[in-house]
Amino acid sequence: MKFKWIIESKDLESIRNLAKIQEEDEFVKHRINRNILGIERPEANEENLWHAMMACLLTTQQKSGPNSPVNKLLSLKPFPLNIYECKKSLNLRKFISETISLNKGIRRNISISEQADKNYEWLEADGWTKLIEITDGLLKNENKLLERKFARTLAENISGFGPKQARKFLQSLGLTKFEIPIDSRVIKWLNKFGFPINISGSALSDQNYYEFILDAIIALCEQCNVYPCVLDAVIFSSMDKNKWTKGNIIW
C-alpha cells in the first residue's frame, strides 16, 4: 500500500503569507540565525547539553510561552539546575524536585527529578560522549536522514524523551533544520490549517505515526521553500502574539 500527500497551491500560499507576517518577529529571526545560519549556536558542552535536556523535561505537558513559569526558570542566570550544581548534589532527585517546587506554577517535579536522575547516570557512563558524537555529526553534515537517525537515538536513550522531546532537544541547540517537535501549538495550527488528518496528540508518542505526520510537514515546507524549523518558529510566535524578546528566548 502507498500513501501520497497532495499539496495544493492554497496550502503553499497560506504558509508563505504567515511566514511573511512573522518574518520580523524576534523568535523567528532567532531560529533562522541559530538553526539556518549557525549564528549564536550554543557550544555543545556539558552545561548547554544538560540545560537543553532539562528544558525538554520541564516543558513536557506544561505551558512554555514567554511569560510562563517554566520559561522564567530556564531563563535565570545562573540556571538553578545547572550541571555544576547537580554534580555537587548528594541527592540529585531531591535537589531537583525541591528546586522545581520553589518555582510556583511548575508541575511534575517528582517525575522530572526521577527522569533527570536516570539521565545523569546515563550521561556519566558514556552518554556525554554519545551526545558529542551526535552534535558533531549534525554540524558536519546537513542531512535529513541523519537528523532523523539521531532523533531516534535520543528518544531511545533519554528518560522522559519521546519523538517530540528528542527533536526539541536538537532544535534548541541549533542542530536541526528538518526534524521538528510537533507540540500542541503545531497540532492546533495544522488542524486549523486544513491538514487532511485530524492529528492525535497521544498518537504522536508512536514513532511511526510521528514520522508519518512529520513527513507531510517536510514535504509541504520543501514546496514553499521554508525550512520546517522556521515554520515551527513562525507558528510558535504567531500564537504568542509577538511577546518574545531577545531577553526571554531560550529555544
For 224-236, the pLDDT digits (tens) are 999 999 999 999 8
Whether 242 has a pLDDT exceeding 70, the answer reads no
- pLDDT, tens digit, for every residue of 114-142? 999 999 999 999 999 999 999 999 998 88
Residue 243 in this model has a pLDDT that exceeds 80: no
| Closest listed residue to residue 169, CA positions, set 27, 44, 49 | 49
What is the distance, to the nearest Å, from the Cα of residue 192 to the centroid of all Cα atoms in its chain? 22
Please give the mean pLDDT across all residues of the chain: 91
pLDDT at 1 over 70: no
The model's pTM is 0.93
pLDDT tens-digit series, residues 74-87:
999 999 999 999 99
Q: What is the pLDDT of residue 46?
A: 96
pLDDT of 105 strictly over 80: yes
Instruction: Read off the pLDDT of each residue in 98-112 and give the average, rounded to a whole number.
Output: 92
The answer, yes or no, to whether residue 238 has pLDDT greater than 90, is no
pLDDT the model gives residue 166: 97
* pLDDT of res. 119: 98
pLDDT band at 218 (very low <50, low <70, confident <90, very high): very high
Q: CA–CA separation, 95 vs 143, rounded Å?
A: 39
The pLDDT, as a whole number, for residue 198 is 86
CA distance 248 to 191: 28
- The pLDDT assigned to 246 comes to 63
Local confidence band at 248 (pLDDT 50, 70, 90 cut-offs):
low
Cell numbers that stand for 96 in this block: 531537583
Q: How far apart are CA 118 and CA 115, in angstroms?
A: 5
| Beta-carbon contacts of residue 88 (< 8 Å; ≥ 6 apart) | none
CB 173 within 8 A of CB 225: no
pLDDT score of 103 more than 90 = no
Higher confidence at residue 81 or residue 6? 81
Find out whether 149 and 120 touch, Cβ atoms under 8 Å: no
Phi, psi of 85 (to 5 degrees): -65, -40
Residue 97 banded pLDDT, cuts 50, 70, 90: very high
SS3 content of the chain, % helix, strand, coil (to 5): 65, 0, 35
Distance CA 180, CA 23 (A): 19
What kind and span of H or E run contains 131? helix 128-140
Give me the mean pLDDT over the 171-187 stretch: 95
The average pLDDT across 36-63 equals 93
